Structure 1
Amino acid sequence: MAINPFDVNWAEEQVEVMHRLRDVAVALTELNHHLASWMRLSSTDSNALGQIIWADQAGEPLSPADLGRKIGMTSGATTALLNRIEAAGHIRRTHEHADRRRVTLRPQPAARESTRAFLAEAGTEIAGAVLSAHPAELATVTAFLSRITAAAAAANHRLGS
């Protein structure tokens, strides 16, 4: 059953949660702008580099097509973006699969270190907030944000189909 969010009688607490989710998204976008400035990149290029680094750290490196889907760019625009950040020395494209046509995106060590230095500078307040939270609070927030992420992913999938 599809829910029309404009037909729901939202409780005050539910509206407050939606406002806080918006505030988090805005604050994280602003941090990405600071990272872009730190790395001397555009915000779009910085976002792409962050996606490449996070995926690599998770042991799930991205292909150019995967990256394009994540950042909402066409294959041509993604190629131009990758050319820029590769020319700037931040990433390399490798052929690690049995199918040598498949490209994997990997961050260069200097990009990883520069991003790490930025996070050491910029992440102080966020680290403090997470470290000061009670484990039960963290478990509740993790469960809730997992549901929100799954709902957003489902909406993105539906809208992209």
Structure 2
Amino acid sequence: MASEGPEMELVHLLRAVTVELGLHSARFANRNGMHPTDVRALIALMDAARAGEEMTAGRLGAALGLNSAGTTALVDRLERAGHVRRARGRRDRRQVVVEVEPQAVELGRAHFGPLITHAVELLRGYDERERAAIRGFLEGVREAAAGAD
């Protein structure tokens, strides 16, 4: 175990932030009759759309660690709730991709928007060098967590 020091104080703070963000996400899921995996799926789909990538059900399932049956149940549930739609791929019309419906984006914006706005305002208080350090730290922790298993 790493020795306690100023670095560990930041690690503990990151853990506390992670817990609070998880609770915030769980409140959103609970208020909207969703499972936490539904919220993670919507985030993955919105991240893919923001990156200009199409997301097939198989790719979504892999990103969430679900098997084929679990992925189908997830997409069916989100589709019935009006949060996603299945559509033909733009690049390959033979593929079926999963897309987030605009009302799901608005639902998320209503809940998460104030927190995102606050985070953006906090980041504006840092100069580019400091933001680069924050970015590097967060990317490094994310990569370490992704490879932890």
What TM-score results when the alignment is normalised by the length of structure 2?
0.83
Runs of 4+ in 1 over 6 A off after TM superposition: none
Residue 111 of structure 1, CA deviation: 1.2
Letter in 2 for 1:44: T
Q: Note if contact 1:38-1:118 (Cα within 8 Å) is conserved in structure 2.
A: no
Question: Is contact 1:94–1:106 with CA below 8 Å preserved after alignment?
Answer: yes
Partner of 1:131: 124
Kindly state the Cα deviation for residue 104 of structure 1 after the two structures are TM-superposed: 1.2
**CA deviation map 1:5-64 (0-9, x unaligned):** x4xx53512322321221122122112113224543222212211221222122123221
2:96 to 103, 112, 128: 103
Q: Work out which of the residue numbers 36, 58, 63 in structure 2 matches 1:65.
A: 58
Q: Does 1:19 align with 2:7?
A: no
The residue matched to 1:123 in structure 2 has which SS? helix
CA RMSD of aligned residues (A): 2.2
1:41 aligns with 2:20: no
Other structure's SS at 2:129 match: helix
Name which of 70, 76, 83 aligns with 1:90. 83
Question: Deviation of residue 115 (structure 1)?
Answer: 1.7
TM-aligned CA distance change 1:66 to 1:53, over 3 Å: same
- What TM-score, normalized to structure 1? 0.78
Matched, 1:116 2:109: yes
C-alpha separation in 2, matches of 1:98 and 1:138: 38
Q: 1:30: which partner in 2?
A: 23
Query: What runs of 5+ residues in structure 2 fail to find an aligned partner?
Result: none
SS of the counterpart of 1:89? Answer: coil
Which whole-Å CA distance do the structure 2 matches of 1:115 and 1:68 have between them? Answer: 21
Q: CA deviation at 1:118?
A: 2.3
Alignment partner of 1:106: what SS?
A: strand
Query: Which residues of structure 1 form unaligned runs of 5+?
Result: 1-5
Shift of 1:144: 1.5
Matched-pair identity in %: 32
Asked whether the equivalents of residues 48 and 71 of structure 1 are also in contact (C-alpha less than 8 Å), the reply is yes
Deviations 1:102-150 (A, max 9, x none): 3211111111222222233343432332222333221111112122222
